[in-house]
Chains A and B, each alone.
Chain A
Amino acid sequence: MRKSSFGLKVLAAGTAAMTVLAMAACGGDDKPAQSADGELSGELSVWGWGNGMKELAEAFEEANPGVTVEYAAQSNASDAAMKLTNAIAAGKGAPDVCMLEDAMVSQFAVQEGIIELDQFGAQDYADDFVAGPWGKLQVNGKAYGMPLDSAPEVLYYNKAVFDKAGVTEAPTTWDEYYEAAKKIRELGEDYYITNNAGFQPFTAQAWQAGGHMWTVDGENLTIDMTKSEGMQRYIDFTQKLIDEDLINVRINAWSDDWNRSLNDGTLASLTIGAWMATNLKSSAPEQSGNWRVAPLPKWTDGGENGSEDGGSSFTITAQAKDTTLAWAFVEFATHGEGAQVLTDEGGQFPSLKSILNSDEFINADDEYFGDQKINQVLVEAANQDITQFQYLPYTQYATTIYPDYTGPAYMGKVRLEDALQDYGEALAEYGEQQGYTVTLK
């Protein structure tokens, strides 16, 4: 390597200034936090995404004057996960604290890329968070992440369009939803009750229907995409919507066309996580005053309507230099003052009961939603006792390939049941390659 490093030096000769810049960027302060008089100090690197993170970092620095937080904004959840995967493979380069989507936590826990938080006393806080997000962060009975936002699945709908179609009440069961879908479709060419949703709405709705697509028991996985009664219920219902052209299959979630059709009203509702309120305001400004929120429709009258879609958490990586400092930050952000900062500045839908259930939060009304007190609905959904939800230890892969299989089903080329069965087979094959023992039903 002698020659090559010499070569690099020669290349750098004309660019001495660059070198200085580069050094400044990577030569971080490696001193451990000094806990002399109990005060934290040192440098903490944090990755995250979304609004309010910068303010959170500033608030933490203010509370702990000796600490500098190096916050690096990632594009989104999958970007953060990809870069963390790389850093784990390289054995260096990971931040101290990393924000992850809840679904990704078990995957990184299994790979030992992040550390369990019970050693810092995370379990003491278990009852302070709503059950849904908290449950998703437990791997083999231990907490590996602390919940940031919570994501109860709800029904956002455009009341103006619903009214125009003659649907005066938000559907409370899926049968009513189906009837509403038909009426909205009658409005014309481009009007649909919803669009071809992605992986997370699928898991949320199928789970709510009672379908447990996968069961994780240590190194044993059971995958059942089509056989259980719950999955059959979900598949039959969705297939009916597809067959009768009641779902807009031409628009993908999160595309520009999606935003546009939310904005012009042709996409009349979404079953999606509570956090969608913030997104709606920026992507559908023209529908201000028209959108409302309702609980997720149920499969049976009086049945369960709780389900989760998304949600994110803070984790501490195995490469963290000073875990005490890292935990202090995570605690601050999720359970301390920081949680309020994120709610106020970032518009996050909190998972901390003390904020969720505060009068101020519950009674906030919102002009965008026609002065509906949307948090009442959202908080009620969040407080539902959700059957413990499980993710596969390779959710990232499952999410990525999901559209490969279901896309053709939505386009009417194959039956949804066959598509999901193939999807299950692909997941089982992958699981076996990864060393799991998989039972495919």
Chain B
Amino acid sequence: MAGNLGTQAVASGSAVRVNKHKPDWRGWKFMWPFAVVFVLVFIIPIFYAIYISFFEKRMVGGTVFVGIDNYIRLFGDDQFWASCGRVALFTVVQVPIMLFLSAVMALCIDSMKLHGAKFFRISTFLPYGVPAVVSTMIWGFMYGSKYGLVGSLNDLLGTNIDVLSPDVLLASIGNIVTWEFVGYNMLIFYSSLSTIPHSLYEAASIDGASEWQIVKSIKIPELKGSLAITVIFSIIGSFQLFNEPNILQNMVPGNAITTYYTPNMYAYNLSFSGNQSNYAAAMAIVMAVITMAIAYAVQLNSMKEQMK
């Protein structure tokens, strides 16, 4: 299955070792197809983006070399930093909640204490199969404070709840993202849990360990390994938040979702409405550096060790 995501430190010793002084190129026989496509889809465009970030295309005067002007402008761009702050807040709140729910669901399903565990596994995972366009649309309909489900609740209870007001909008978006990805992360956690040999539980219970102790001292340490990868992918995903706010934009009253709501939306609008792909490229590079720094600080280090 998805593999023993946590306890990989052991495996490295068994890999093929030939002569230490002579590089062993055989691996590339298998690696190159991925590498070639990756270079085509990511590496070349990234270098091209770096290149164009030193230019500026003007409607009057054409394309000119501007050195690091785009980067200087970026550091003084309040809208950019506002959008970064927003996704940072989003990441700090949404990612832990989502991963916590995923881990709890994985532990519950793995505990074999549920009636119909299969049903819970499939129902948790099902939202992952819904395209962002569709899931945002559905949640958007439900959020409507007049015609949506929230509106019906308000009528029923006489309340005046508005989940699309600017103060709670980010949380409402967080709910959509959580709904979409909780199953995906659950499956990763669940897979790593199911690689724990049952003999370990038997041994533990013979030693008189309680259920909670087994969870605490066997299962949770096992989850920590897969946590590294889920955290990294979740951080990258959050910093690139785009689909949900972009599709929700027109459903939200008072234009609370601005064109610079997230860095990715800002870059998109600059590129495709503002004819400023050079500035957007500079923004992409800076965002990538920020994202990597955060991902690295949080988890990459520990993961690298496991990868050895």
Contacts and interface: CB of A to CB of B under 8 A. Distances in A.
Given A400-B259, A430-B274, A434-B58, A251 B36 contact: no
Given A251-B253, A257-B146, A4 B273 contact: no
Contact of A397 (B250, B258, B274): B274
A12 to B, nearest CB: 12
Contacts of A408: 254-255
A435 interface: yes
Given A434-B60, A435-B61, A407 B255 contact: yes
Given A85-B272, A257-B147, A436-B59, A11 B254 contact: no
A3 B39 CA distance: 11
A396 to B, nearest CB: 5
A397 B273 contact: yes
B59 A110 contact: yes
Given A251-B253, A252-B250, A394-B275, A435 B258 contact: no
A73 B291 CA distance: 38
A297 interface: no
Contact of A255 (B59, B250, B258): B250
B228 to A, nearest CB: 31
Given A4-B39, A10-B33, A256-B141, A407 B254 contact: yes
A393 B60 CA distance: 10
Given A4-B36, A400-B269, A256 B251 contact: yes
A66 interface: no
Contacts of A82: 272-273
B9 interface: no
Contacts of B141: 256
A257 B260 CA distance: 24
B258 A407 contact: yes
A404 B259 contact: yes
Contacts of A396: 273-275
Interface string A73-100: 0000010001001000100000000000
B251 to A, nearest CB: 6
A406 B277 CA distance: 25
Contacts, number: 104
A110 B61 CA distance: 11
Contact of B275 (A3, A85, A257, A260): A85
B212 interface: no
Contacts of B37: 7, 11
B215 to A, nearest CB: 45
A34 interface: no
Nearest to B34: A7
Interface string A411-441: 1000000000000000000100111100000
A398 to B, nearest CB: 9
Contacts of A89: 277
B272 A404 contact: no
B259 to A, nearest CB: 6
A399 B259 CA distance: 11
A63 interface: no
A324 interface: no
Contacts of B251: 252, 255-257
Given A89-B277, A254-B250, A7 B255 contact: no
B33 to A, nearest CB: 6
A298 to B, nearest CB: 29
Contact of B255 (A3, A406, A430): A406
B144 interface: yes
Contact of A4 (B40, B59, B258): B40
A169 interface: no
Nearest to A189: B146
Contact of B58 (A3, A250, A254, A435): A435
Contact of A3 (B36, B144, B252, B273): B36
B32 interface: yes
A183 B60 CA distance: 51
Interface string B147-169: 10000000000000000001000
B60 A219 contact: yes
B126 interface: no
Interface in B189-209: none
Nearest to B256: A407
B60 A196 contact: no
B56 interface: yes
A337 interface: no
Interface in B242-279: 250-256, 258-260, 269, 272-277
B208 to A, nearest CB: 57
B60 A435 contact: yes
B146 A400 contact: no
A111 interface: yes
Nearest to A426: B79
A59 to B, nearest CB: 33
Interface string B20-63: 00000000000011001101100000000000000010111100
Given A404-B259, A435-B59, A435-B61, A196 B274 contact: no
A254 B251 CA distance: 9
A256 B146 CA distance: 11
Interface in A240-290: 249-252, 254-257, 260-261
5 contacts: A4-B39, A10-B33, A400-B274, A407-B258, A436-B60
Counting from the closest, the 4 A-B pairs by CB-CB distance are A407-B255, A435-B60, A435-B58, A7-B36
